[in-house]
Structure 1
Amino acid sequence: METGKSERTLVRAGFVLFLLALLTGVAIPLFLNQKMALAAHLTGVLNALVLIALGLAWGLVVLGPVQARLTMGLFLYGTYVNWGTTCLAAAWGTSRLTPLSGAGYSAAPWKELVVQVLLLSLVLAMLTGAVLVVYGFRPSASRARAGLARPLSSP
């Protein structure tokens, strides 16, 4: 995957998510659980910043082509699903995995299950993506990026 294209994709996706988060903020009064809607708005803003930062740092992350595509996909999935799931939780009034923002609300068991599955999947995606990015910043990867074929030896 071409580095310039990946950077642009991540930054653009970040700004699209930022716009969606702003629109969520405007729509807070329309949600069943307005406290959760505020959480959705803030989640969207913060996840947008994560995508923008990752896009700007993408050229520094040293990963193979498959790892790079996986990392990008995990972050795109995790950030958008985080915002979308929090919006669903606000609209449906779910509370099982969100006891602070969802206090006083309850939803049909199937709605709670949908939100639970989505939240757990996005947590796994974001954790895996973060591990891959940290791996891409490992010292040996930095040396490889600088053109050094072997690790530096001490004098």
Structure 2
Amino acid sequence: MMELTQIGAQLIFIGTVFFLVGLIQGALIPSVKNSRMALSGHLTAVQCAMALVIFGVIWSLVELPQSLDIFVAYGCALGFILIWLGITIASVAGASKALPIAGAGFSATVITELTVKIMVRTGSLLSLIACSLLVFGLFPILW
């Protein structure tokens, strides 16, 4: 039987709050500068939130050293939140360089464009590394 760990419970809580934030953002889509980007942010929030809740539920199955365990859990959460926050800032400010498909036809100041690019790229790299390590932490359940 799986047990709920402290990190697992925290991931479930973070994911549930993140899901709520994504739902609220969905209601606010029409009120931002770039509604297409806001829709992308809304979908990012609810999908990443569900992933965090699932990670929390299965966390007792993950076998990693404690320091790596903490990095993976909070690296996933922080990476997902950075991606969402970058997209959300882009939707409000009209930034488009980091996300040219959703941002087509919009532009923002150089500082805003750079901020969004750094947030999205850092979040993407962090979540990619953390989720890759999570996969390795789940290998022992196969044997």
Q: TM-score range with shorter-chain normalisation?
A: over 0.9
Helix, strand or coil for the counterpart of 1:126? helix
Aligned twin of 1:91: 92
Please list the CA deviations of residues 65-120 of structure 1 after superposition, one character each: whole Å capped at 9, or x if unmatched.
10101101201101111221111010010111211110000111110000011111
What fraction of aligned residue pairs are identical, expressed as a percent?
Answer: 31
Measure, in 2, the Cα distance between the counterparts of 1:80 and 1:115: 13
- 1:126 matches 2:142: no
Helix, strand or coil for the counterpart of 1:138? helix
Aligned twin of 1:61: 62
- In the superposition, the TM-score normalised over structure 1's length comes to 0.86
1:15, distance to aligned residue in structure 2 (A):
0.4
CA contact (8 A) 1:17 1:45 kept: yes
Which of 1 and 2 has greater Rg? 1
- 1:76 matches 2:90: no
1:142, distance to aligned residue in structure 2 (A):
6.0
CA contact (8 A) 1:62 1:142 kept: no
Helix, strand or coil for the counterpart of 2:16? helix
Measure, in 1, the Cα distance between the counterparts of 2:18 and 2:67: 25
- 1:17 matches 2:18: yes
The letter for the 1-side match of 2:76 is F
Please list the CA deviations of residues 12-44 of structure 1 after superposition, one character each: whole Å capped at 9, or x if unmatched.
100000000000001111110000001111110
Ranges in structure 1 where 5+ consecutive residues have no aligned partner: 144-155
Helix, strand or coil for the counterpart of 1:105? coil
Ranges in structure 2 where 5+ consecutive residues have no aligned partner: none
Aligned twin of 1:104: 105
Measure, in 2, the Cα distance between the counterparts of 1:115 and 1:45: 20
Please list the CA deviations of residues 52-73 of structure 1 after superposition, one character each: whole Å capped at 9, or x if unmatched.
1110111111011101011012
- In the superposition, the TM-score normalised over structure 2's length comes to 0.93
Measure, in 2, the Cα distance between the counterparts of 1:82 and 1:56: 23
CA contact (8 A) 2:80 2:124 kept: no
